[in-house]
A = this chain, B = another copy of it.
């Protein structure tokens, strides 16, 4: 078992899959000699050559659309969109096209592609380098949307994504890239898409979260544990499809649910989680399902004070937990 960061885990997953399967290739801006602006593909061009590590023109719609075409033809492209904020130019290709090709051809074609993108904030990224775009994609049937928070999950889920025969939007939280380290088994393993993970067990309440706020949630849970209150923390890992069973089982046990994410509140992934709980665990609930999320502003601003004011931090999660527990 090696200890590695999230970005190292991402790199390792891709490297192993490219060695394993000649149909896997990478395309995106600066993925070649530069190794990607976050160095996810560092060294790849030397190992795999510029045929399989393709520096593209600055044109996200083409990156996505070409990947769709190559995937239909049987390749397994990994398209890198340099920042989650630049996913909007690929919307038409991913949401409008990739997601419905299996359905729209009645199964004649399918699209085994991954769109990887570093997303999220708390990195002084300002309005256009901090976006959490997951909810847009999670609303789209035909797409799988994966948001790992740990090196172990990042590697295992990325391998699953690359092997998936349906399009996967794979969102890696930028702040976790270097800040989060963890154990990663040597060699091959896969973490299944669509399965949530209980990152901390407890019985007093359930936090449902994913991405960077998993770590902030764990910090808040730790504080309460110091007071003898054990909070269960469910890491969705995949935000579409949502693992309803794991979420509902936990809430049926704890009777209280707090949903936490960094993306803005309204119609964030938390809305669906909350709606699922409200409909299917109604009889178990001792308190309303509460949400802690970014405020309804476009994204977090650049100034450090404003960024902190946006961010759902451990403090804010802890305060909400106390409100939930006191209800």
A128 to B288, CA, bound (A): 39
The stretch of A15-23, A92-100, A222-230 that contacts the partner chain: A92-100
Asked, given contacts A100-B298, A139-B135, whether A271 binds B282 with beta carbons under 8 Å apart, the answer is no
Q: Which residue of B lies closest to A142 (CB)?
A: B298
User: Is A279 in contact with B272, judged by CB distance below 8 angstroms?
Assistant: no
Contact with B along A267-308 (1 / 0, CB 8 A): 111111011011110100101111100011111000000000
Name A's interface SS: helix
**A189 at the A/B interface (Cβ < 8 Å)?**
no
**A30 at the A/B interface (Cβ < 8 Å)?**
no
- Copies of chain A in the complex: 2
User: Is A272 in contact with B278, judged by CB distance below 8 angstroms?
Assistant: no
User: Is B104 in contact with A96, judged by CB distance below 8 angstroms?
Assistant: no
Say which residue of B141, B241, B269, B289 sits within 8 Å of A297 (CB atoms): B141
**A85 at the A/B interface (Cβ < 8 Å)?**
yes
Whole-angstrom distance between the Cβ of A81 and the nearest chain B Cβ: 12
Among A138, A241, A272, A299, the most chain B Cβ lie within 10 Å of the Cβ of: A272
Residues from chain B with Cβ under 8 Å of A100 in the complex: 127, 298-299
Residues from chain B with Cβ under 8 Å of A282 in the complex: 285, 287-289
**A264 at the A/B interface (Cβ < 8 Å)?**
yes
